[in-house]
Amino acid sequence: MAWMIGRTAALSDPERARAKALAKLQGLVKLDDPEGVVVPILLEAILMVESYRAARHQISFLPELTERVDTMIRELNLTEKADLWAAE
């Protein structure tokens, strides 16, 4: 999946990575159901944080969170492409 922030960039310059992610998230308003995309991610993030808190085991909800984030990014990429095609 094409994404504009890689692991190295996120770790080396988190503020810049946050700014890029925030710019990307502004496209949420163009999705058909932004709440349906964002709310599940927030729920999984909360559960991931709670399951990881003070524990030394693998994060249980990470695969679900990853899948939901990937879905959101894919939909945002599609809306960006649609905007570009409409502008041509």
The pLDDT tens digits along the chain (88 residues) read 456 788 888 889 989 988 998 998 999 999 999 999 999 999 888 888 777 777 777 666 677 888 888 888 889 899 999 999 999 8
Q: What's the CA gap between 52 and 35, in Å, rounded?
A: 25
Within a domain: 13:
no
Tokens of 59: 């994060």
Residue 18 in any domain: the answer is: no
Give the Cα separation of 5 and 41 in Å (integer).
Answer: 18
Supply the pLDDT for residue 3: 67
Q: What is the pLDDT of residue 8?
A: 86
Would 5 be classed as within a structural domain? no
Domain range for 61 is: 28-87
Residue 81 has a pLDDT of 93
DSSP, res 85 = H
Burial class (CB in 10 A: 0-12, 13-18, 19+), 73: buried
**Is 3 contained in some domain?**
no
Q: Which pTM value belongs to this model?
A: 0.67
Tally of domains in the chain: 1
Residue 2 domain-assigned? Answer: no
The radius of gyration of the chain from alpha carbons, rounded to an integer in Å, stands at 15
Flag whether 15 is in a domain.
no
- For tokens 């249980």, name the residue: 60
